[in-house]
Structure 1
Amino acid sequence: MGQEPQELVAHGYDTVAERYAELERDAPWPRAAWLDDLLARLPDGSPVLDLGCGNGLPAGERIARRHRLTGVDVSPRQVELARANVPAGEFSTGDILKLDHAPGSFAAVTAFYTFDHIPRERLAEMFGLVHTWLATDGYLLCCVEIEDLPGVVADWLGAPMYFSSYEPDVTRRLLTEAGFDIVRDEIQAQSEGGHEVSYLWLLARRRHRAAS
């Protein structure tokens, strides 16, 4: 593959940051409705971690209205845009699999269109990290593509991009095995540049102890 997946993703989003921001203008994505459901469950001022925060719009801005937002993205350009778009948030550049947050740091973790960009063999590890970072009964809201992709590099908006995902049943199983109870899940399609892409949306709650 040449470059590591995180390097491909960082360079890709640096390259297409402005073009990516235009995609949702074709038609509303499901993200806002799912995020509003999550935020309604949290007390004001709750700490929320947004993994793959992008340019901070619209999710980060929405979170920061009533909550304490921490955002991280592998793309320096996206983080630069997020800091300008959402001054109330705290943003940093980094690999989400290498973050070092204290246990119980967040009431909720969000990951929109993010987990498809890590090798699927590490998805269980990712869910385990999120479980650790969440407070008791904390929430994870995420979406993942539904294709069976072992790990591919494809042209995306004019730049090479890494994608990897499991079929929905595998993703659900890994999430529950990591110590989560699924509150809501649904497969929904959205328009991206004239193409329809389907995602598995998951709202899950941290159990007190991971399943053995």
Structure 2
Amino acid sequence: MQAHETVNASPAASRPANTALGVIEAWLGPIAGRSLLDVGCGRGALARALLARGARVSGIDPSAEAIHEARAAVPEAEFVDAGAEALPFADDSFDAAILLNSFHHVPAPLMPGALAEALRVSRGPVLVIEPLAAGAFFEAMRPVEDESVIRAAAQAAIARHVAEGRAVVGRALDYDEVRHFSGVDAFLAKIVAVDPARAEAARRLRPEVEALVARLGVREREGLRLDQPHRAILLMPPATGS
């Protein structure tokens, strides 16, 4: 895999490009009129943002509850209850596929199949944006759920896919996603919203997390800042990669 460009997200002027939507628009744009697949769509937040920019969006998620909520929240998009390793679409159905903060939620044995499926249904690139096992946000979350192993497995699966010649890296970028919270309760609400199964641990471990948030957070006008490093990788089929 090619070396990653590391971007300092601290200057305010550079932050818009160093967000998931900034990367999506820069690397997949123009978005308007394009058909995009949101793999691991959750409750439809990314789908809503892409629709607002004129895209035609389909989303898949293995959680029937999440799909139900996504359909209610974003009725203009198509949502299907399915796993990333078995996408219910024909070959070359979309202009591009996006996996935003979702690939590490795929069970490790199914990760190679999920990448192969995304490349199969996309007639263009597959953009994978993943949180890394580093940064203040990650460290504050670790008592509730330590994703060190699965996040590392996700990066290893991508590297292995490329090393085996099953995909080519078109672009790669490391950047810090800036996140602000009013306090520990807002932080815990965020990580529980991503996975409701964390609720009991979040309640029980609140004092430990509160201490970490206070120590690791940077006080800014917008609230406590807890950065989360991300890696964006644009994958292309071998025949069309550069």
Name the TM-score class by shorter chain.
0.5 to 0.7
- Aligned partner of 1:63 in structure 2 is 50
2:72 aligned residue: 84
Residue type of the alignment partner of 1:165: R
> Are the counterparts in 2 of residues 105 and 134 from structure 1 also a CA contact under 8 Å?
yes
Q: Which moved more, 1:119-128 or 1:185-194?
A: 185-194
Between Structure 1 and Structure 2, the one with more helix by share is 2
Unmatched 5+ residue regions in structure 1? 1-26
Report the aligned-residue RMSD.
3.4
Give the TM-score, by structure 2 length. Answer: 0.59
- Residue 166 of structure 1 corresponds to 152
Give the Å deviation of 1:132.
Answer: 1.2
Larger Rg: 2
What secondary structure is seen at the aligned counterpart in 1 of 2:150? strand
- Given residue 230 of structure 2, which amino acid in structure 1 is its aligned partner? Y
- Please report the TM-score for the alignment, with normalisation by the length of structure 1: 0.66
1:36 aligns with 2:16: no
The alpha carbon displacement at 1:154 in A equals 7.5
Residue 186 of structure 1: aligned partner: 173
More strand by share: 1
Local SS of the residue matching 2:232 = strand
Cα distance in 1 for residues equivalent to 2:96 and 2:23: 13
User: Which residue in 2 is equivalent to 1:93?
Assistant: 81
Deviations 1:181-209 (A, max 9, x none): 22221222333835543222112223337
Counting matched residue pairs gives 173
C-alpha offsets along residues 85-109 of structure 1, whole Å, 9 cap, x if unaligned?
A: 2221001222222223211111100
Shift of 1:114: 0.6
* 8 Å Cα contact 1:131-1:178 kept in structure 2: no
Counterpart AA for 1:140: V
What amino acid is the match of 2:159? R
- Identify the match of residue 139 of structure 1 among 111, 117, 125: 125
Q: Does structure 1 conserve the Cα–Cα contact (< 8 Å) formed by 2:93 and 2:121?
A: yes
Task: Supply the AA of the counterpart residue of 2:232.
Answer: W
Provide the residue aligned with 1:11 in structure 2: none
